[in-house]
Structure 1
Amino acid sequence: MKILNDSIKAMLAKELPVQATVSKDGLPDIGPKRSLRVYDDQTLIYNENTGGQTLQNIRDGSKMAIAVIDRPALDGYRIVGTPELFSAGTAPYDNALAFAEKNGMKTPKFAVLIHIDDIYTLKSGPDAGKKLDEPASAR
């Protein structure tokens, strides 16, 4: 697992993340996740409220990619991870429920933890797309 640094945490707290999954037939699904936030240094969390295609893709085993971008700074990150669903009676779900209540959102169907596999920079320039722990010579 990879570690979220302070720069990534700050960007996730400020900017709107966009997540992507893929169906078992290979059809991409993408959308904003306004509840996506840091759960701990190696995990993200969001409230699954709609129970639509993203949820089905997770149930079918899709990985998840999250992009968060600071457009004026030409900076950003792509985080790739493995999602895990949690329902009522679990600590992640309790976290999601508290977040929903605090932010005037509806009760979530599930909490989704995203266990981080890799992090890439989206910063404009020669390092764009580079895995954060990848040495420069590996590019």
Structure 2
Amino acid sequence: MAKLTEDMKQLIADGFPFIATVDEAGNPQIGPKGTLRVLDDEHLIYNEETGRQAWHNLQANHKVAVAVHPYPGMKGIRVEGKATIYTEGQVFDDAHQFAVDKKLPDLIGAVVITVDRIVSLDAGPDAGKELANEPVKD
């Protein structure tokens, strides 16, 4: 797995993330995920609350991309990886407690994303530069 730096973790904490998934016909979908946060150096997590398109897409295809670019700002990253869905167990319980603590809607699942690849979304000459690429072998 690729590792997030402290600067990347702060960028994720400060920014507003969007996730991209694809449906069974290969159609792309993108949407905001306000609960997305860093779980550890190699994983992101978010609380799935709506159970709509992204949730549907991740049931069949676990590939996901996350884009974070704070506004205003000229720096950003895209994280690519695979999602694992938890509907019970410690990961789910911790995500539920996060929702309670933040006074958020209850979740239907916790989605953990492995950090396989990180790409710069900075404005300027570093746009699209690969920063890390260490996919987990299936």
Structure 1 and Structure 2 fold alike (TM over 0.5): yes
Equivalent residue for 2:113?
A: 114
Aligned positions of 1:94-105 closer than 5 A: 94-105=93-104
Equivalent residue for 2:39?
A: 39
CA distance in 2, matches of 1:20, 1:92: 22
Equivalent residue for 2:127?
A: 128
Percent of aligned pairs with the same residue? 40
Equivalent residue for 1:137?
A: none
- Pair member with larger Rg: 1
Contact in 1 for aligned 2:76/2:122 (Cα 8 Å): yes
Say if 2:17 is the partner of 1:17.
yes
CA distance in 2, matches of 1:47, 1:73: 26
* Structure 1 moving runs of 4+ over 2 Å: 70-73
Contact in 2 for aligned 1:23/1:62 (Cα 8 Å): no
Unaligned runs of 5+ in 1: 135-139
Contact in 2 for aligned 1:85/1:113 (Cα 8 Å): yes
Contact in 2 for aligned 1:18/1:30 (Cα 8 Å): yes
CA distance in 2, matches of 1:82, 1:67: 14
Secondary structure of residue in 2 paired with 1:8: helix
CA distance in 2, matches of 1:62, 1:115: 10
CA distance in 1, matches of 2:79, 2:17: 10
- The structural deviation recorded for 1:72 is 2.9
Distance 1:54 1:7, change over 3 A: same
- The structural deviation recorded for 1:4 is 0.7
Secondary structure of residue in 1 paired with 2:69: strand
Secondary structure of residue in 2 paired with 1:13: helix
- The structural deviation recorded for 1:73 is 2.8
The amino acid that maps onto 1:77 is I
CA distance in 2, matches of 1:83, 1:62: 5
Equivalent residue for 1:74?
A: 74
CA distance in 2, matches of 1:78, 1:118: 8
Equivalent residue for 1:52?
A: 52
- The structural deviation recorded for 1:133 is 3.4
Contact in 1 for aligned 2:16/2:70 (Cα 8 Å): no
Contact in 1 for aligned 2:15/2:71 (Cα 8 Å): no
TM-score scaled by length of structure 1? 0.91
- The structural deviation recorded for 1:77 is 0.2
Q: Root-mean-square deviation (CA), in Å?
A: 1.2
Unaligned runs of 5+ in 2: 134-138
CA distance in 2, matches of 1:121, 1:16: 16
